[in-house]
Amino acid sequence: MLQLSNGQWSSLYNVFSFGLISMLACTIYTLVCQSRVLPKYRSALVMSSMVTFIAGYHYFRIFNSFNDASHANAVAVGTQQGAFNEAYRYVDWILTVPLLLVEVIAVLGLAKEASKSLIGRLVPASAAMIILGYPGEISSNNGTKVLFGILSTLPFLYILYVLFVELTKSLDRQPEGVAATVSRLRLLLIATWGVYPISYLIPILVKNPSMHQMAYLFTDRQIGYTIADVLAKCVFGLTIFKIARMKSAAEGLVETH
């Protein structure tokens, strides 16, 4: 059991609530905006809606798990029954990360063969990244955390490299005004995805932490993961919508109000 302060407990309660409503709001927004882009770009918005809907469901489960594991600000953490269930995040990620990658590929408007090639490389890499990260996440041994952290970082870096290269190569094919947004998408990708390994490393940063320090580490990690999720799914999804809308306008779609 980790004894959280009133501030730590309420911060986690509020940040999980914020994560949940952010995902639900983005799901609704991207669904109702389908008509504002050309049909060929709507699949990207559908993927974005699926990403935030799945994440919203899992934040609902995370929120409930946190409540159920809490007893007078003490939170049970681990893999035992009644403990805060960290696995919800990894089930979420193994579903949403491949969809997020497909979402990016769909909005780029690449040739069919190029899209298939990217999906065939990136989706397995994303699954490997999540699967390799989970044993380190739940382990209480820092050596195990470091080992699986390194193993999961390899496909992580591969995904970032491939996406950065492909996004850069697509800049010349984008309509006027869209290239700048796609260029910013590359930076957003690195900035948002970079928060995850930092949050993963938080428990390793303090050697032999006291129970008081462990409460801080747990709180900081959960806040870090939630902020990263909102940025990587909601903000990223809204940027994808902006690109799809700009490309649709450049290709002749006239919006009616």
**pLDDT tens-digit profile of 177-203?**
777 787 777 788 888 888 888 888 887
| Burial (Cβ within 10 Å: 0-12, 13-18, ≥19) of residue 111 | exposed
- What is residue 198's predicted lDDT score, i.e. its pLDDT? 86
> pLDDT tens-digit profile of 132-186?
999 988 887 888 988 999 999 999 999 888 888 877 777 777 777 777 787 777 7
Q: Is 32 exposed, middle or buried (0-12, 13-18, 19+ CB in 10 A)?
A: exposed
Averaged pLDDT of the chain: 87
If pLDDT is split at 50, 70 and 90, which confidence band does 255 have?
Answer: low
The predicted structure's pLDDT at residue 109: 73
pTM: 0.89
Torsions phi, psi for 36 (to 5 deg): -90, 0
What pLDDT is stored for residue 233 in this prediction? 93
The predicted structure's pLDDT at residue 101: 87
Q: Which residues contact 13 (CB under 8 A, 6 or more apart)?
A: 66, 67
Q: Which fold has domain 2-250?
A: Rhopdopsin 7-helix transmembrane proteins (1.20.1070)
pLDDT over 90 (residue 204): no
Which pLDDT belongs to residue 78? Answer: 75
pLDDT at 58: 95
Q: How confident is the model at residue 254 (pLDDT cuts 50, 70, 90)?
A: low
In this model, does residue 19 exceed pLDDT 90? Answer: yes
Strands lying side by side in the sheet with 74-75: 2-3, 74-75, 70-71
- Where in the chain are the domains? 2-250
Q: Which pLDDT band holds residue 93 (cuts at 50, 70, 90)? A: very high
C-alpha distances in Å from residue 117, one per residue of 76, 112, 120, 197, 199: 44, 9, 5, 27, 31
pLDDT mean over 97-103: 89
Q: Check whether 118 has a pLDDT greater than 70.
A: yes
Whether 108 shows a pLDDT value over 60: the answer reads yes
Q: Where are the alpha helices (DSSP H) in 33-86?
A: 39-69
- The maximal CA–CA distance of the chain, rounded, in angstroms, is 62
Which DSSP helix (H) or strand (E) runs through 205? none
